[in-house]
Amino acid sequence: MVEIGYEPITVTVLDTQAGKTAKDSRTSAYSWALGNWSCDCNRADAFGYGNEWSSRCLGCKRFLVVAATGLMNGYTIADMNEGYPLELCEKHPASMRGTMDHNYRYWTTPKVTA
């Protein structure tokens, strides 16, 4: 049974260095925005890059979410890329769907509660 609010969504992840995309449907919008899937370590797994990526944290430098479908629970694509450099997101406009908080240079949106 999946806990309410943590239903898996389908995302399209862009490898900004290779120019390739991959789809992944294993986890929730929350995990893509704030959890283990919010950085390169686990996003690389969508491409099958293996343990050299997931064995330690590599930060937020390469893999952007550019599309998402499913129960978003108030999160936007921009929320899923919040920790990534603004300059990288600007090169890939699909990664910036949401609103920008100019004070923090992070992409944010108000969370919707039911």
> pLDDT tens digits for 16-58?
999 999 999 999 999 999 998 999 988 998 998 876 666 677 8
Question: In which band, very low, low, confident or very high, does the pLDDT at 108 lie, cut at 50, 70 and 90?
Answer: very low
Average pLDDT taken over every residue of the chain = 82
25 half-sphere exposure, CB direction, 13 A CA radius:
4
**Residue 96 falls inside a structural domain:** yes
Predicted local confidence at residue 2, as pLDDT: 54
Number of domains in the chain: 1
**Residue 49 falls inside a structural domain:** yes
Containing structural domain, residue 58: 10-108
Q: What's the whole-model pTM score?
A: 0.80
Predicted local confidence at residue 102, as pLDDT: 35
Give SS3 for 29: helix
Question: In which band, very low, low, confident or very high, does the pLDDT at 5 lie, cut at 50, 70 and 90?
Answer: low
**Residue 5 falls inside a structural domain:** no
